[in-house]
Structure 1
């Protein structure tokens, strides 16, 4: 079932006489830029605005930054779609504009790169101790090795090493999601270096861009997306209900 007001192809919800020609606007984390830019080459009528990846390290600042971008485009967008999962509650509190807001039913972005929430659940059930890397994370040095370098500048070598090892201590594998975008040989070498340095097993998982394509052109089905009504906020409860439903199924 498509979200009310959307066509099977995800046409803007307010595509009446005054909104028919307004673009769909996707506000996404920059980690998705390599894949979204590749996909949007063949998609018309969509604008993508990227927000810095660094917000994942300070999720308490994310909602305000996302809201800022929404306010910039709300008067010129036919439909606004977020390219974010719940992201450590980072988008909790974001308020839907007059045209409403479409948000993926994902706790983080990994499901978007794997093609579906169900596939992410399957991967998690098979190996819960996996730290996932995407081309965007690796290319921007937002992987464990890159974060370690940031920590060194702040805390020094010894403390930085300890903090990073603490962050990774429950992970057994580091997995690169191969989305087919970017210089995979270089990305693969960097991902392997992460695994070797931190004593984890390396794995490569095929990516699937179908969920990311839905961000750009729909359909925005209830299976994959929340539809936030105008004036309503993104809440943690929506995602908790989703998790409980999955646990009981």
Structure 2
């Protein structure tokens, strides 16, 4: 019996690195990061992905609570395991003691976010095409007026210098101070290794994720 991963595309750089490091041959299904904007759609896509798998013993979900999208999922084809984190940023910064304070006024990014279609820069580009550069810039700055910092989370970025410069440029453009911090792959690594402890939830095949499940929040 084999194992599978269902993950947001945001984690693809980290998942690829871990699979290579440990020589894991897991089937991977990556869902679009835009689904976070509509938790009900994310829930449906997660369920469809779970239902589509065959001859799998365990499915590892890299999703945390993510707007309650995990709640009610049915382990129809295999047992499912996922971290008790609030969201993907929490997963990468799970061991960062400053995270609770940082998230109050910080917009986070990572290599996966920068490569995706929900990054701050992509949002600006969409608005620029619709409204023009000046108005788009005003709108985006207004949207993120409660943030002071744009923080780049370093994980497995082999092109770190280029990526950091790209992130710093966006921070300056949108009126945010650029900072960086080091993320950890420990939680994802333990998930894929099959560790089951207080950090994770395992739902046996045939059962569902409880609607009243409590996640680790700040």
TMscore range, shorter length: 0.7 to 0.9
Q: Please give the residue correspondences for 1:109-188 in structure 2 after superposition, counting only pairs within 5 Å.
A: 109-114=88-93, 116=94, 118-119=95-96, 122-125=98-101, 128-154=104-130, 160-188=136-164
Gaps of 5+ in 1: 1-21
Question: TM-score with structure 2 length normalisation?
Answer: 0.87
- Alpha-carbon contact 2:59-2:81 (below 8 Å) kept: yes
User: Residue 211 of structure 1 is aligned with which of 180, 183, 187?
Assistant: 187
- Alpha-carbon contact 1:173-1:202 (below 8 Å) kept: yes
1:182-203 per-position Cα deviation (integer Å, ceiling 9, x unaligned): 3112211111012101111111
Question: TM-score with structure 1 length normalisation?
Answer: 0.77
1:94-150 per-position Cα deviation (integer Å, ceiling 9, x unaligned): 222253321210110112222x3x52x632225621111011111235321111112
- Alpha-carbon contact 1:28-1:48 (below 8 Å) kept: yes
User: Residue 225 of structure 1 is aligned with which of 197, 200, 204?
Assistant: 200
Confirm whether residue 199 of structure 1 aligns to residue 161 of structure 2.
Answer: no
Gaps of 5+ in 2: none
Confirm whether residue 47 of structure 1 aligns to residue 36 of structure 2.
Answer: no
1:38 Cα offset (Å)? 1.1
**1:67 maps to what in 2?**
47
Number of positions where the alignment pairs a residue of Structure 1 with one of Structure 2: 216
1:171 Cα offset (Å)? 1.1
Distance (Å, rounded) in 1 between the aligned partners of 2:190 and 2:64:
14
- Alpha-carbon contact 1:130-1:171 (below 8 Å) kept: yes
